[in-house]
Amino acid sequence: MVSLLIVADDFTGALDTGVQFAAHGASTRVVTDLDRDLSRDEAQVLVLDAEGRVAFANMAACQLLAMTPRRMRGCTPGELLPDLQALDAPLDQLRSQAWGQQGVDITLMRPGQPPLALHCLAVVLEDTGGMLLVELHEIERRRRIDRETRLHESARASRAMLRQLAHEVRNPLGGIRGAAQLLEADAETDAVREYTGVIIQEVDRLQQLVDRLLAPGSGRRAVARINIHEVCEQVRRLVQAEYAEGLVIERDYDASLPELEADRAQLVQALLNLVRNAAQAMQGRGTILLRTRVARQVVIAHVGYRLALALDVIDDGPGVSPTMQERMFLPLVSGREGGSGLGLPVAQGIVEAHGGSIECESRPGWTDFRILLPLL
């Protein structure tokens, strides 16, 4: 579905334009707020006139092609970038048909940047004299977003089920502990006291497990403006104290990052889980890098943001297998013997509660867990 946002100071004229586009299959929104922040519109859109020249390019398209609107206006796609000449024949055919749509996959070779695979979807705008609307979609980005969405939805459903189960288990645990304490008080032999002590110990362990299952979604967050580097340093000190020998934690911070609104204690817990997970995967021997950067034009949970904070936890451990990458955010799934399988799901729950996301890329000798938190 093609989406258009029409901004004008004349609502009647803009509405008429929107109706014309909508009649030909485009989803349209009309706003008269000229101060509206348009940077959140993700779709990269070109509108071509009857001669195949750019009549309009939105900001997302300009950023993708690294050109200004003035530079693009009046040029054919092939004049903008040679790789876009692959669109000429399909667009000419579409324009001659005067209806329908065409999809073409192309690869852009941009100086100093890796190749970019695009899916270009062109639609005829009827009753406009042969104008075309072209959407440019980054193929790998769309695949990644779809994959992350699928994994997050699966993990969210699993967490919801386990939280419900944890609520059901919590009350009986209290009763079992109380009964065991009464038995211990009336015990006449050391053997009975030993058995009741084991019961109380195991109940406490299960209670801690239940508390961890409920933690990300329970209670109110103490939100305040925080410096993410103070969070990183606190986590670095904690993990470095646990692994005093063999583990090196390096830092690469972007000092220009602004403060963000967040619950400091929860973010410390989320980052601590990720760093501990990396340290355990390397058995306490290796290098972990904490890196912060500004990420621009990112999409988190289908919402576009102009700026986001990117916090990477990079290690040189054995890596995460593709099979485990598909399952590692599910509760009680652990790739380590004796692991609870709660560290990553808890971290993900905390980050998502802050409107962010966690991504993972891995290969042997290199793993990157990236936290994205929206800024603007």
Q: What pLDDT digit, counting tens, does each position of 195-211 carry? A: 888 888 888 877 776 77
Helices (H), the chain: 11-22, 59-65, 69-72, 77-80, 88-97, 139-186, 190-214, 228-242, 264-281, 322-327, 343-353
Task: Give the lowest-confidence range in 56-60, 166-170, 209-213.
Answer: 209-213
Q: How far is CA 176 from CA 141, 186, 326, in A?
A: 51, 16, 37
Report if residue 70 sits inside a domain: yes
12 has pLDDT over 50: no
Report if residue 129 sits inside a domain: yes
Report if residue 180 sits inside a domain: no
Same domain? 372 vs 225: yes
Domain boundary among 89, 112, 138: 138
Who contacts 312 (Cβ-Cβ below 8 Å, separation ≥6)? Answer: 289, 290, 291, 292, 293, 368, 369, 370, 371
Same domain? 231 vs 368: yes
Same domain? 115 vs 256: no
Provide the residue range defining the domain that includes 243: 221-376
52 has pLDDT over 90: no
Over residues 107-136, the mean pLDDT reads: 81
CATH number where 107 lies: 3.30.450.20
Report if residue 111 sits inside a domain: yes
290 has pLDDT over 90: yes
SS3 322: helix
53 has pLDDT over 50: yes
CB 159 within 8 A of CB 214: no
CB 356 within 8 A of CB 363: no
Same domain? 228 vs 371: yes
Same domain? 244 vs 121: no
Same domain? 131 vs 241: no
Same domain? 225 vs 134: no
User: Is the pLDDT higher at 348 or at 221?
Assistant: 348
Over residues 157-178, the mean pLDDT reads: 76
Report if residue 154 sits inside a domain: no
Structure confidence at residue 33 (pLDDT)? 43
How much is the mean pLDDT over the chain? 80
271 has pLDDT over 90: yes
Report if residue 299 sits inside a domain: yes
Structure confidence at residue 338 (pLDDT)? 62
What is the DSSP annotation of 259-297? Answer: PEEEEHHHHHHHHHHHHHHHHHHTTT-EEEEEEEEEEEE
Radius of gyration for the alpha carbons in the chain, expressed in angstroms and rounded: 27
User: Is the pLDDT higher at 8 or at 198?
Assistant: 198
Same domain? 116 vs 238: no
The verdict on pTM exceeding 0.85 is no
Provide the pLDDT confidence category of residue 36 given band limits of 50, 70 and 90: very low
Same domain? 374 vs 256: yes
Same domain? 235 vs 374: yes
Report if residue 100 sits inside a domain: yes
Structure confidence at residue 293 (pLDDT)? 96
φ/ψ region of 365 (left if φ > 0, alpha if ψ in -120 to 50, else beta) reads left
- Write out pLDDT tens, residues 325-370: 877 777 777 766 666 677 888 888 889 889 999 989 999 999 999 9
**Number of structural domains in the chain:** 2
CATH number where 287 lies: 3.30.565.10
Going by their DSSP bridges, the two strands 286-300 and 247-252 should be labelled as parallel
Task: Give the lowest-confidence range in 24-28, 279-283, 332-336, 360-364.
Answer: 24-28
Per cent of the chain over pLDDT 70 is 78
Structure confidence at residue 218 (pLDDT)? 53
Report if residue 149 sits inside a domain: no
Per the structure block, which two tokens stand in for 330? 């599910």
Domain boundary among 97, 115, 138: 138
Residue at 58: amino acid letter: N
Strand order in the sheet with 101-108: 54-57, 44-48, 131-138, 116-125, 101-108
254 has pLDDT over 60: yes
CA angle 172, 176, 177 (to 5 degrees): 120
Domain boundary among 138, 160, 180: 138
30 has pLDDT over 70: no
